[in-house]
Amino acid sequence: MNSIKDLALHIDKAAHEANAVAQLTKTMVFTEMQAYEIQKMSIDQRLSRGEIFTGIKMGFTSRAKMEQMGVHDMIWGRLTNQMFIENGATIDFSKYVHPRAEPEIAFLVKKRIEKEVGMDEIKSYIKGVAAAIEVIDSRYENFKFSLEDVIADNCSSSGYALGQWLPVDTEVNNLKMQLIINDETVQEGDSSAILGNPWESVQNATRLCEKFNQPLNEGDIILAGAATPAVYLKQRDTVKVAVEGLDGCGFLVS
């Protein structure tokens, strides 16, 4: 492997086949901007296999997540329809390397976003909010990576479940968020852990859309990032998220 393209094909294959691989930065040194190029090329592979782009996810927008993973900067990744988990569905454990779940809040785009939008205008670009669970599954051995590695690996994105969409003026800040596995609360946090207010994450998402030339269209989603550390899943788990004031969602692991 001696080019950005080789690294992109390698990480795409690892994701496609659910195999853990060594960190890409162990093979070749690359910058954060090159990591985003690798991410884009690896997602282009998925799109060429027929997957459809459905939005973006923000990462490391809470201190809890940054501390858990030992990484200190906001990141973003791309979502596709193949990652969508129908509320109440069963996911196949064998299709993942070492999946973890984390509680999130999702935003539904109302109109095209291609330029940074200020906080004063942000709500006019969004038509719904919902509780969400993100399934992250690093393609790296032991779930260990540098910032460049995780960006190249599409920020560990591998699945997302969504609760019922509620109107855009539904309060999303200062809400209790719980990740519940097998009827036990395994993580609990507050939505204000997401950059002080999850809307700040949406605002940052628009900034990154402009910077990386990745427009969002009506119907695309933005995941604002986890409010708590993520928890490893195992076979036969029942996974739910409860967010005060929003409709919850969940799935089973087979």
Which residues are at the interface with Mg ion (CB under 5 A)?
134, 226
Q: Which does 156 bind (CB under 5 to 8 A by kind): Mg ion, ligand OOG, none?
A: ligand OOG
C-alpha–C-alpha distance, residues 80 and 239, integer Å: 21
Residue 204 as a binder of ligand OOG (CB under 6 A): the answer is: no
Q: Which is nearer to ligand OOG, 69 or 172 (CB)?
A: 69
* Contact in structure between 199 and 170 (CB atoms under 8 Å): no
Residue 36 is a binding residue for ligand OOG (CB under 6 A): no
Cβ proximity to ligand OOG, 105 vs 216, nearer residue: 105
Pick the closer one to ligand OOG by CB: 120 or 134.
Answer: 134
Tell me which amino acid residue 40 is: K
Residue 187 interacts with ligand OOG (CB under 6 A): yes or no: no
| Nearest approach, Cβ of residue 247 and ligand OOG (Å) | 20
Q: Toward Mg ion, which CB reaches closer, 134 or 200?
A: 134
10 contacts which partner out of ligand OOG, Mg ion, none, CB within 5 to 8 A by kind? none
Burial call 99-117: b when 16+ CB within 10 Å, e when fewer: bbbbbbbbbbbbeebeeeb
State the Cα–Cα distance between residues 189 and 64, nearest whole angstrom: 9
Q: What pairing do the DSSP bridges indicate for beta strands 231-232 and 238-243?
A: unpaired
| Contact with ligand OOG (CB under 6 A) among 14, 126, 136, 253 | 136
Torsion of CA 184, 68, 163, 157, to 10 degrees: -130
In angstroms, rounded to a whole number, what is the distance separating the alpha carbons of residues 50 and 143? Answer: 28
